[in-house]
Amino acid sequence: MHLADTNFSLRFAVKQNPQHQIIRQAVRNLRNRGDEICIVPQTCVEFWNVATRPVKNNGFGFSIADADFFLRLIERIFPLLPDDARVHQEWRKLVLSFGVSGVQVHDARIVAAMLIHQVTHILTFNTSDFARYSSIGIVAVDPNKV
């Protein structure tokens, strides 16, 4: 099973995005191999953040209605793994053991959910953001290489 990072989901949802076809091909390739792609609540929260943020602030500038439409699309296509207290506890362990601070705490929360749900691979254009977690079995996969 692979987890779709926020940047993967955003580009999957928006057909006009230059990387949309790369994402679609990665989804096809994985499904043809019998691999499943999932999402977690943290990536949905981040999706909403970027989708509704103004373009001038490095967002997509969607209205609330458009963000809702695209997130519902993502939620229909990719199974949503649940959050619970174990994810929070795992996140606390990760931020302490890996010395995580600042904006990187969000990636640590994604990794915590992956560990709880035994998902080892994350589809992301930001593979370097997850490199520190390779020692605990997390594999960051660039969609260009699927």
Summarised one tens digit per residue, pLDDT across range 116-125 is: 999 999 999 9
Q: How buried is residue 56: exposed, middle or buried, by Cβ count under 10 Å (0-12/13-18/19+)?
A: exposed
Give this prediction's pTM.
0.93
Query: Is residue 30 predicted with pLDDT exceeding 90?
Result: yes
C-beta of residue 137 within 8 angstroms of C-beta of residue 128: no
CATH classification for the domain delimited by 1-146, as one of 3.30.70.100, 3.40.50.1360, 3.40.50.1010, 3.40.50.10800: 3.40.50.1010
What pLDDT, on a 0 to 100 scale, did the predictor assign at position 121? 98
Confidence of residue 105 (pLDDT cuts 50, 70, 90): very high
What pLDDT, on a 0 to 100 scale, did the predictor assign at position 14? 87
3-state secondary structure the chain: CEEECHHHHHHHHCCCCCCHHHHHHHHHHHHHCCCCEEECHHHHHHHHHHHHCCHHHCCCCCCHHHHHHHHHHHHHHCCECCCCHHHHHHHHHHHHHCCCCHHHHHHHHHHHHHHHCCCCEEECCCHHHHHHHHHHCCEEECHHHC
Confidence of residue 39 (pLDDT cuts 50, 70, 90): very high
How far is Cα 36 from Cα 3, in angstroms, rounded to an integer? Answer: 8
What pLDDT, on a 0 to 100 scale, did the predictor assign at position 62? 96
The tens digit of pLDDT for each residue in 64-96 reads 999 999 999 999 999 999 999 999 999 999 999
What pLDDT, on a 0 to 100 scale, did the predictor assign at position 88? 98
Six-digit token string for 28: 């096809």
Domain ranges of the chain: 1-146
Query: Is residue 22 predicted with pLDDT exceeding 90?
Result: yes
- What is the average per-residue pLDDT within 105-116? 98
Query: Is residue 46 predicted with pLDDT exceeding 90?
Result: yes
